[in-house]
Structure 1
């Protein structure tokens, strides 16, 4: 379809995870390229605030969680020219309907009654997720081949804090060679065994690299068992973590938002995949994914018990990862 009138205001909803939100940024760029004079209003979850606050392609950010007042949101998005519902939340499409937005495009069958146009089919695991997201925008005649992910810029105070954290830990950002490791994700089933990370950490130190651990506050207690590393787990916000990554020569992690942070800073990464597939979730540039495609994977079983005790993740050995690291760092 085509939008046959001047576009002044666009409503975009994506209330999913940090990674999903970052993977929506090529769509935001495409909107601005298509309608440079338009105003983009983005509805996001609280966890994504640091990604989007001050973002170059977001004119107004609405952070919403269940229980917040709805009327102020409806007022802000009232009669936008069109809405792109990128998530699968019932309320996102409901808000667009209540705001009398004439063109409401989305994908989820759950939202069908509130949409004027539904993109057929479900996101493909054989396609990069940023392109899956763009399928909704393409329905409105918006497209791009630029899949570069973009995060809101670092604030001066945040950089000062991160630099001070590094100096206090004894890291010289001008001289030291850093490798960032993110051992944890939102699901234990995606996490590579800690013992494997310890082997890789020892390998990195042997070759003169300083291993830096990052992660959320919820992972702080789990990460306390690591020794001989610079452990900043729980100490940095999202933009500060991305800044640390920008100073590193490599990131090693699983299928987690940290991998997408690396993509925003063009930092190379080695990523271990298990129940999810790198075809859909690995950045298109600078990422070396390692995955064991078993008869049961990808299964996307990230919230339940695994009958095979995470075999798909456990089969990836420390030696395999160290081999890829050696090639990238030219060790």
Structure 2
């Protein structure tokens, strides 16, 4: 077995979508150096987004909270273990892990980042949270390594036997439940849309996590529509495999929608207050700059972004009351007929 030419650690201590949209960094390094060791460090519980990713050698999980003894033990395990550490997220935690784990480290800082935290990195770039897509933004770190960006998002994947669930093509995958209320569409509208799809002799499969509220939400839709409910039954890699074979995927602004986009399947993404310039699903085969504008985006490759008609869109707030419990009128006002006209 060949000894790795260099050891890289990519540190992404945020959510699933952040991790997935950082995979072009790993893909670019692998293209540049096929024999490199490329590891990831993510928060425990988020490692599933990297399931089946053959570009990555190892995934290290870090508990969000743990005892001082275990944290120090973790630091010793990582100490100076890598040649290069990269963090596409701007946080003190990520910069600290960069500092302890590698001889050279590169990442981002915000205007409010302390000088001490910024100096934990060998070099850094000011974080742009508005005008640069996350895929392009993360790959800016490659400029420190003279590596060309590939712009290729790598979705999780694990083989799935469709016959196990008696699934036959054609079928659509719908992921109706986002993590936050401000990204939520109306349950009654999901039911109306699914009934319409099934009238066209197309099966509908629901996906979701094992979260109690999400399971109940998907169960209600299943009961009303007779769709196949796989919420809580699949790993993220299996969800990726399911979507890859689907005729279409429909979902809100969530990590699963980013997975769908990366599989190449036609993806209809329902967006509310979120800025698509920064967070729009990355179109398959997009190798040129920012794909999205703030509003009224056209179909790009396999992606359709559907936004509300409200004049405030996108406000970039967490709902109309600007808190995680509030809802967004813009996404709630998206009509079922609008979606129907896009899919069949």
Which of 131, 139, 142 lines up with 2:136 in the alignment?
131
Equivalent position of 1:222 in the other structure = 217
Secondary structure at the residue paired with 1:139? Answer: helix
Deviation, structure 1 residue 314 = 2.0
Equivalent position of 1:108 in the other structure = 109
C-alpha distance in 2, partners of 1:44/1:196? 35
Q: Deviations over 1:85-114 (max 9, x none)?
A: 122332222123234x33221112334131
Equivalent position of 2:23 in the other structure = 25
Deviation, structure 1 residue 211 = 1.2
Secondary structure at the residue paired with 1:217? Answer: coil
Deviation, structure 1 residue 63 = 0.7
Map residues 68-217 of structure 1 onto 2, 5 A cutoff.
Answer: 68-76=70-78, 78-99=80-101, 101-109=102-110, 110=113, 111-124=117-130, 126-144=131-149, 146-154=150-158, 159-160=160-161, 163-164=163-164, 166-167=165-166, 171=167, 173=168, 176-217=169-210
Distance 1:269 1:254, change over 3 A: same
Secondary structure at the residue paired with 1:137? Answer: helix
Deviation, structure 1 residue 190 = 0.6
Map residues 38-57 of structure 1 onto 2, 5 A cutoff.
Answer: 38-57=36-55
Distance 1:86 1:282, change over 3 A: same
Report if aligned partners of 1:187, 1:303 keep a CA contact under 8 Å in 2: no
Instruction: Could you tell me which runs of 5 or more consecutive residues in structure 1 were left unpaired when the two chains were aligned.
Output: 1-5, 327-331
Equivalent position of 2:282 in the other structure = 283
Equivalent position of 1:329 in the other structure = none
Secondary structure at the residue paired with 2:145? Answer: coil
Distance 1:303 1:79, change over 3 A: farther
C-alpha distance in 2, partners of 1:107/1:303? 27
C-alpha distance in 2, partners of 1:296/1:273? 13
Q: Deviations over 1:134-184 (max 9, x none)?
A: 12222332222x3232134415xxx25x642x12xxx3x3xx321111111
Secondary structure at the residue paired with 1:57? Answer: coil
Secondary structure at the residue paired with 1:47? Answer: coil
Report if aligned partners of 2:11, 2:98 keep a CA contact under 8 Å in 1: no
Deviation, structure 1 residue 49 = 1.5
Equivalent position of 1:258 in the other structure = 256
Counting matched residue pairs gives 307
Deviation, structure 1 residue 295 = 4.2
Equivalent position of 2:298 in the other structure = none
Runs of 4+ aligned residues of structure 1 deviating over 6 Å after TM superposition are none
Q: Deviations over 1:261-297 (max 9, x none)?
A: 2123211111110011333322223111111364433
Secondary structure at the residue paired with 2:46? Answer: helix
Map residues 225-244 of structure 1 onto 2, 5 A cutoff.
Answer: 225-226=220-221, 227=224, 228-244=226-242
Normalised by the size of structure 1, how large is the TM-score?
0.84
